[in-house]
Amino acid sequence: MIPLLIDCDPGHDDSMAILYAARHFELRGLTTVFGNSIVENTTRNALKICELARLDIPVAGGMGAPLVGSFAPSMIHGASGLDGADLPEPKRQPVDMHAVTMMIEQAKKAQGELVLAAIGPLTNVAVALRTEPRLAHWLKCITIMGGSLDIGNAAPYAEANILKDPEAAAAVFSSDAEIYLAGLNFTRQATLDRSHAEMLRQVGGAVPETVAGMLDFYLTRNEARYGKPISPMHDPSAFVPFVRPDLVEHKPFHIQVELASPLLRGMTVADQRNVTRRPDEPEPPRANVKAGIRMDGPAATRHVIETIASYGRG
């Protein structure tokens, strides 16, 4: 199994991603960041997910604010970041180690084998890369749920995880790390609806039934905001390519993050036609991201739901 460390801000879709990953990767731990709620809540939510699924892995709390300015939690997940979920209270505490330290230590230990999955704002990752410049080379790659090659969700052209800390995202994208991106253009190709909640409820068991409850809440919030009781399968889509590469297609792009424009701040600007080359430059900027462009959405959704259902089948 591929060794994996997840940097997250649970979060309904984060929770599904963690449960999915625990079945398909050698999960080395969870680090938490602000995002869907304050970091104290996302850390507690991560511990609750571990309690639910009996995951014996370390959880380390991380950055509570972006590199520049402040943030507003994503209320679509509720005040706790994981409203609507009947989760057990955690019996343990986070480890006495900062998320940034855990990232660096786990990557150094794995020496080129560790995949870092970043499915929240990229603040922890940016600080870790700044703290230990060799980190980019110690990692196998970073897989990110964030950004978009087309429209946004938190702003017309900006995706929520990137918009919560654009400076951090810019730092990560400009690093030497190998990066895979699951942007909105990719994650929207796989959708969750009430039939998936019902499927999990019929399987039974603590994990499937809890995830069914999460989906009920999340889909209701999505219906209130967007008019339809469906949701893109955001965070799990950052993991599926490593387990089912036959279901996806990626393409290399040079991607920059817009920082200056009030209208477009947080936009992930992908040079899709190599047009940013200056006349005096012999080559276009190197591709720094492998972005997901195609996914067999129904098959990917079915694969993830079946993985969650497996917790109820022993």
Instruction: Report, as an integer, the average pLDDT of 200-219.
Output: 96
3-state helix, strand, coil in the chain (%, to 5): 40, 20, 40
For residue 85, the model assigns a pLDDT of: 79
Confidence of residue 129 (pLDDT cuts 50, 70, 90): very high
Q: Is 250 a catalytic residue?
A: no
Per-residue burial over 182-215, b = 16 or more CB atoms within 10 Å of its CB, e = otherwise: bbbbbbbbbbbeeebbebbbebebebbbbbbbbb
What one-letter code names the amino acid at 250?
Answer: H
Q: Please state the pTM of the whole predicted model.
A: 0.96
For the chain, the structural domain boundaries read 3-275+282-312
User: Please, what sign has the CA dihedral across residues 235, 240, 246, 247?
Assistant: negative
CA 219 to chain centre: 18
Residue 92, SS3? coil
3-275+282-312, which class in CATH? Answer: alpha beta
For 269-314, what is the HEC assignment?
EEECCCCCCCCCCCCCCCCCEEEEEEECHHHHHHHHHHHHHHHHCC
Helix axes 166-173, 123-131, angle to 10 degrees: 50
Q: What element of type H or E holds 197? A: helix 194-203
Catalytic hit among 12, 77, 234, 250: 234
**pLDDT over 70 at 76, yes or no:** yes
Helix axes 39-53, 206-226, angle to 10 degrees: 140
CB-based contacts of 68, cutoff 8 Å, min separation 6 = 165, 167
Instruction: Report, as an integer, the average pLDDT of 36-47.
Output: 97
Residue 40 DSSP symbol: H
pLDDT digits (tens, 9 = 90+) for 111-128: 899 999 999 999 999 999
- Mean pLDDT for the chain? 95
Q: Name the residue with higher pLDDT: 81 or 30.
A: 30
CA–CA gap between residue 180 and residue 266 (Å, rounded) = 18
Nearest Cα neighbor of 239 from 11, 19, 12 is 19
What one-letter code names the amino acid at 74?
Answer: S
Q: What is the dihedral of CA 301, 304, 306, 310, to 10 degrees?
A: -170
